[in-house]
Structure formats: structure tokens, C-alpha cells
Amino acid sequence: MKTDRASSTAHPKWFGLALQALVILSRKSEIYPSAAIADCLKSEATQLRKVLAKLAAAQLIETKEGRDGGYRLKRAPESLTLAEVYLALKVGEPLCSGMLDTVCTKDSGLRMQSAFVDIANEIEEKTIETLKQHTIAQLAERTWTYRP
């Protein structure tokens, strides 16, 4: 399994926070401060800034530091897929890979582990395939009244 994007500090809840923050940013053309986004999400600003830093590192949003600083989308929300967000925040192994912890180290366990890896990889591929079909604009339209 690929773990090159893993981060020991990332948390599985980050994907939900990131999507909501991006929906908020999709409604604004100007720089929007993290404290205001955190307030909208009823989230801790420090945690949200860690999520936004990952999105900035993946070039999905731009940042402006300082007193008037904040965040803004780098691209139109219509062109930003949920898969891109998911991959930018990749927190480690696919969720179902936890089943690997349940196998023994004997021969039969090693064969089971190999089967579990194949299944986990297939689930991850299907997840990304599904997320590619949805954009931030579509999510905004479903949850807010999206106005570019």
C-alpha cells in the first residue's frame, strides 16, 4: 500500500472540515480569515489552519499572511474535485486497511493479509473514482446557495 502521503498529524475528520471550508471559500472572492471560517464551522481555528495548510501545500488554495491575511480558492470551485481534496489530505492507509491488524503472521495469515491489501486498494480506488465525479461547486450548490 502507498503511504508516501501519510501524515502522522492528520486526522480522518479533516476531510469533512476541508470540504466545508472550501464551500465557504467558494462563496467568497476575497481573502477570508481562518478565524471566520472556523467560526462558521464551529471548529477550533488552530485545527482548521492545519487542514488549510495541507490544502495550500497541494495548491488548492492560496494564503495571505499577516493582519489582513486569510485564504482564497486558487481555482474555480467547478474545477476542484472532492478527489483532489481527499488526496491532498491523505491521512494514511485507506480506512478499511485496519483489517490488516487482525491477521496473524503464520502462512495462512500472510495470504489473508495479501487478500486484505488487494481489497483495501480496490476500495480506495473506488472511493477516489467516486470523489472525482463531484466538485466543490456541486457541494456548495447542494448545501448553500452557490453564487460565483
What kind and span of H or E run contains 62?
strand 61-64
Residue 93's domain spans which residues?
14-143
Within-domain flag for 148: no
Within-domain flag for 49: yes
Q: What angle do CA 36, 11, 69 make, to 5 degrees?
A: 25
**Ranges of residues in the chain whose predicted pLDDT is under 50:** 1-8, 146-148
Report the domain count for the chain: 1
Question: How much is the pLDDT for 3?
Answer: 36
**CATH (domain of 82):** 1.10.10.10
Question: How much is the pLDDT for 8?
Answer: 41
Question: How much is the pLDDT for 93?
Answer: 61
